[in-house]
């Protein structure tokens, strides 16, 4: 005879955040953030150095003069879920092998709240004809 036992799993999610979940494409655990861009990007860097520091761009364009511009476009979603429940229960007593009585009472209340927001970061890196960083700009928003 085979008996199976049911298992109940309760998962509580609180503050699940995707802040920088995208990370850098080159496998580094660091998140692609405005702080990272400001720390790592400098005029005069080569294209190879930019890829090492920030990863691969999403978009690559050329202007009429043949100068390249790289666009890094990142979107992160933050989800915060909070919930709770309250319950009360009771069981009577048993004596020997016979059950003297069984009494039960159960009451509960459950509530959950979820809040989500999104963050965007767009970075545009412009290169000179020689392939060095000439300038860079960014736009950061949260909604």
Sign of the torsion formed by the C-alpha atoms of 140, 135, 61 and 46: negative
pLDDT of 24: 43
pLDDT of 31: 85
Sign of the torsion formed by the C-alpha atoms of 29, 31, 36 and 40: positive
Predicted TM-score of the model (pTM): 0.57
Q: Report which secondary-structure segment, H or E, holds 50.
A: helix 47-54
Q: Report which secondary-structure segment, H or E, holds 40.
A: helix 34-40
Q: What is the pLDDT along the chain (143 residues), one digit of tens a residue?
A: 444 333 333 322 222 233 333 444 444 446 889 999 999 999 999 999 999 999 999 999 999 988 999 999 999 888 888 876 655 555 554 555 544 445 555 556 677 888 899 999 999 999 999 999 999 999 999 98
The domain made up of 29-79+116-143 is a member of CATH 3.30.1450.10: yes
pLDDT of 83: 75
Calpha distance 67→24 (Å, rounded): 24
> How many C-beta neighbours within 10 Å does residue 60 have?
11
């Amino acid at each position: 005879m085979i008996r199976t036992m049911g298992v109940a799993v309760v998962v509580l999610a609180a503050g699940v955040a995707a802040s920088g979940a995208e990370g850098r494409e080159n496998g580094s655990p660091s998140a692609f953030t405005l702080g990272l861009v400001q720390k790592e990007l400098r005029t005069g860097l080569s294209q190879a150095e930019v890829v090492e520091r920030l990863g691969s761009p999403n978009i690559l364009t050329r202007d009429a003069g043949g100068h390249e511009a790289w666009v890094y476009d990142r979107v992160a979603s933050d989800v915060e879920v909070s919930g709770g429940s309250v319950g009360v229960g009771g069981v009577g007593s048993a004596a020997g092998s016979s059950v003297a009585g069984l009494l039960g009472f159960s009451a509960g209340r459950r509530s959950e709240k979820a809040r989500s927001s999104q963050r965007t970061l767009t970075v545009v890196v412009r290169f000179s004809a020689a392939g060095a960083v000439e300038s860079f700009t960014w736009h950061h928003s949260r909604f």
